[in-house]
Structure 1
Amino acid sequence: MASPEQLADVVRGPLRLLLSGPQSSGARATPEDAALPGRNRIHLVVDGFDEVVARLRDAGLDFRSDVVSGPGGRQVLVADPSGNLVELFEPA
């Protein structure tokens, strides 16, 4: 489990805010070639992370990163048809 310095998960009503500390995977810079047209991304929590990633790879989606593991979980970046980033995330 991530320590408070690594990740904070704040929930208020329907809003969920994830704050990444300097040692978390979320604090790593987005690779320059991954973020076209921008560096913002939507973050989707998925169940069955390995199966989802395998299914999307088999479907030919444009992955913009390798799977990254950190104290909060695992993530991978995929591009939508317009090049916007979608982060698939599985909590630890």
Structure 2
Amino acid sequence: MSEIQVNVRYMVDDVPPCVDWYVKHFGFEPVGPASPAFAAVQKGPLRLLISGPMSSAGRPMPDGRKPEPGGWNRFQVITEDIAADVARLTAEGVAFRNAILTGPGGSQVLAEDPAGNVVEIFQPATWG
């Protein structure tokens, strides 16, 4: 069986600022050529497809609904020091939907990219 590649697609309003945001704040690398309609960035095994309104993924559905950014689906970035990462990102001007929440599995906070899409920063609980 051939290897399966998995991508995550985010709809955005403006592609270039979102590419810059993922590269600057989370260390993603651009993949291939970018355009005002579409770009891809990658960090480790995660390839994020950034699709603007002019991309094929941005076309309206047959029932008239339009793909749009800003939902609640997200991917997680695992950290060993969530407080330090939130402080760094806050200083860099990153917006958050909430303060750090802590539960039995660990701590999390939701950062928003320039289009309002969510990146969850997660620090697993220490099991002892």
Identify the TM-score tier after normalising by the shorter chain.
Answer: 0.5 to 0.7
CA distance in 2, matches of 1:76, 1:37: 16
Q: Which has the higher helix share?
A: 2
Instruction: Say yes or no: does 1:55 pair with 2:92.
Output: no
Higher-RCO chain (CA-CA 8 Å, sequence separation at least 6): 1
Deviation at 1:57, TM superposition (A): 0.8
When the two chains are superposed, the root-mean-square deviation of aligned CA atoms in Å is 1.6
State the AA in 2 paired with 1:91. Answer: P
Larger Rg belongs to: 2
Match of 1:41 in 2: 74
State the AA in 2 paired with 1:87. Answer: E
Instruction: Say yes or no: does 1:71 pair with 2:88.
Output: no
Deviation at 1:82, TM superposition (A): 1.7
Runs of 4+ deviating beyond 6 Å = none
Over the matched positions of the two proteins, sequence identity in percent amounts to 47
User: Which runs of no fewer than 5 residues in structure 1 stay unpaired?
Assistant: 1-13, 15-35
- Aligned pairs for 1:12-51 within 5 A: 37-51=70-84
How many pairs were matched up? 58
SS in 1 for 2:116: coil
Deviation at 1:48, TM superposition (A): 1.8
TM-score (norm 2): 0.43
1:8-49: per-residue Cα shift (whole Å, max 9, x none)? xxxxxx9xxxxxxxxxxxxxxxxxxxxx62110111111221
TM-score (norm 1): 0.58
Instruction: Say yes or no: does 1:81 pair with 2:114.
Output: yes
